[in-house]
Structure 1
Amino acid sequence: MKILIVEDNMILSGMIKKWLQKAGYEVLTAIDEPGARSILKKNEISLVLSDVRLPEGDGIHLLEWMVKNGMETPYIVMTDFACFPDAVHAVKLGAKDYLPKPIYQEQLLELMHSLLKQPVIIRKERSFVERTSEAVRKNTSLARRVAPSDLSVMILGPSGSGKEVIAQMIHRYSERHDKPFVAVNCGSIPNDLQASEFFGAVKGAFTGAVADRKGHFETANGGTLFLDEVGNMPYSMQILLLRVLQEKEFNPVGSDKVKRTNVRIISATNENMKKAVEEGRFREDLYYRLAELEILQPPLKDCKDDILPLAEFFRKEHSYRIHVKNEGFTEAAKTCMLGYDWPGNVRELSAKVKRAVIVADDALLGVSDLGLDDAVCYHNPEIHSIKEKEKIRRLLDKNHGNVSRTAIELGCSRTALYNKMKKLGLM
């Protein structure tokens, strides 16, 4: 994939270029808007990483020109805090994201991998928000119980529902927690590169193999290999994967040397796997080897209790990362979030909250900031009780679990509060 860096600071541009080349990208650079336009006209660019302030032209006008000419290339804005309003404007115009300076390698690469749906990401320890909906709590409990074993787990559920979070939780509570967690998107690796991606290759094994390269099994050795979108894995790769799981060994492409592997496999898919097996798209023997235990992750619309706590978690996380201050959500925004169906699930919620954090002018994030102005936000009887439950939970947290103090703040008796907590499932 070709990445275009538009940055007049040659030291920063060179540093980012090295990071991206090491990660396997082809990189082109420009120092101003005319130079960037020229490159975009002549090349198929996968992503643009641009500063706002340039010696000739600027990043905002470049984005406007791209939009006007129908270019749907993902666009990331880089800028310092003093130019934050420009970044806000860029996001409103259609920029996919915003990175504050100084730029950090891990943050940049993770964002790019996410936008470009790159096949592999090595995850580090990440923070989790405790979800309270009954279905997810059961999954969390099951993940912790199965973690110490080496059972292969398959996590089923719609895209964006948090399947990787469950996978990371299993890794986190396993004896492999101090080893790599390698996430691979099985649907984004070209068929002719599947073997080399998973098993590595030696120099000269094929055109473009200019050096020995480790595969995912070797990178994840001792840790966890997370096969995301495993239902999209080509049949030819399924045969190779089954052999490795059975024999615990593999050969890098172009090599006779046998390498041993010790990884735990966790997989995830939004496919109906039993149907895929029946239709001959997925090997039955591989399915049963990958799905020694299945966990079904529900869509966010079926977990209304989780919406506001997740939104608050993402608000704090995104605000901290991009150095802006805000205080929460308007009541209208909360009602709309609770009434919206979230077809993109948790991933969509995170994206909309991030947008709101960037574009909001007020301390409280509103419906418009979330980009939900035109969304259908259904009103149902559940919403009042969910908001009430969230209010009580927030006050209990503030008061360190002191029920008497919380009752006083709510203007009710201690007994009444206990009854209400029991009714709302807070006890």
Structure 2
Amino acid sequence: MRLRVPSGWKGKNPIFFITPLVIFLLVAVASLRSGAYIITCNGQELGGVKDKAMLEKAKQKLTEKYRGTYGSDIIVEGEFTFLPLRKENVQFLNEEELASKIEKSASLKAKAVAININGKDVAFAKNQEAARQILEDVKKYYVDMVPGELVKVESPDAIKLEEKAVELEKILGDTELKQLLINGTPEFKEYKVAQGDTLWGIAKKNGVSLEKLVEANPHLKSADRLSPGDKIYLEEKKPLLNFTVVKKVTYQKAIPYNTVVEKDSSMWKWDQKVKTEGREGLKELASQVIYKNGVKVDEQVLGEKIIREPVTKVVVRGTKSEVAFRGSGRFLWPITGNITSPYGKRGRDYHEGIDIGAPYGSPVAASNSGVVVFAGRNGAYGNFIIIDHGGGIQTYYAHLSKIMVSEGQRVEKGSVIGRVGSTGRSTGPHLHFEVRVNGATKNPITYLNK
């Protein structure tokens, strides 16, 4: 078969049409062998490089950057591709620029030591020495935080150290690693609100601040309004590494004193005096105490020694009581019964009358003739009657269950005006009885039967 030559090329020298083709091929080969490439990482274009060796140099830059922190060479994981340079205006990268772009697009790892607790990698240290030192520091933390002579320290956890290549951000510094093993990572437990619960009470009971509790429960509509059945989330911190410390402890403990009461018939029953002051004793105990993560969980007393015996407190208390009875004198006893609280100073208060104990509903009589000037409810007095006897003298009758007179009514001495009760500020049925002269309280005892 014969090749047909284009009509325009007839009579031409063959070199005429071969030369352009050769020039094109030479240019193409030159461009392919020039050493210029586009480098990509995981499909992402990083920029232009003049030779493939720049990739290793950039990796070496990253190793130099992080060797001081992590103590080993950096492992750069990524799929790198070199593409022939086929376009103009490409940004050529130097070693520092290429290293920076690789750091952003590749995965950087370093050889580290995994701290494996109970089958789970919980943290990573930069090397074996650092990992072992951290474990010792955590153990020392728990030993030092409780007093006494060390007997034993051990961890119930299964601990293993394993070398692994891990991402740089997972490798922690010594201080951060120690705090992680001691404090753990926050966990949340659910608490169901019961009747009467308050946020403040829940926080106090679970040992967290109110601010932390509110922060952990943004779903609550109001910090002041809880309903039974509401769900509250409580943050808990559980150590990743546990230690049990056993120590021998010697300490002193107070011995409480006893109190005995002696009766004295010559003293009123509302009077008492201290005959002998009590004093606590003191003893020294030797114990073996078990702590878990710094919290005392058990104690065994090995022995004790009395340093000082306690002194018993002796109190003399009166037995003499004054019985209220109806007489024929100027003022009558309003009811019959024992005086349960006398007139005068009572603790930090001043009792302005006398209390006479009597069964609920017992009749209360007017101590003398007069006019009722008040009959009704009056705060702490409860149901209350005032009788004016003239001459500036008035008698008060308080805590009544029933009022049987009205204001302005004249009553005779001994007439029933009400019934014993426990209204107002009262802890049981009794009559509170007062005598006042020109508004000033007087001891009713000095007026009765006289």
TM-score clears 0.5 = no
Return the TM-score normalized by structure 2. 0.20
Higher strand share: 2
Return the TM-score normalized by structure 1. 0.20
Say which structure, 1 or 2, has more relative contact order (CA 8 Å, 6+ apart): 1
Larger Rg: 2
Higher helix share: 1
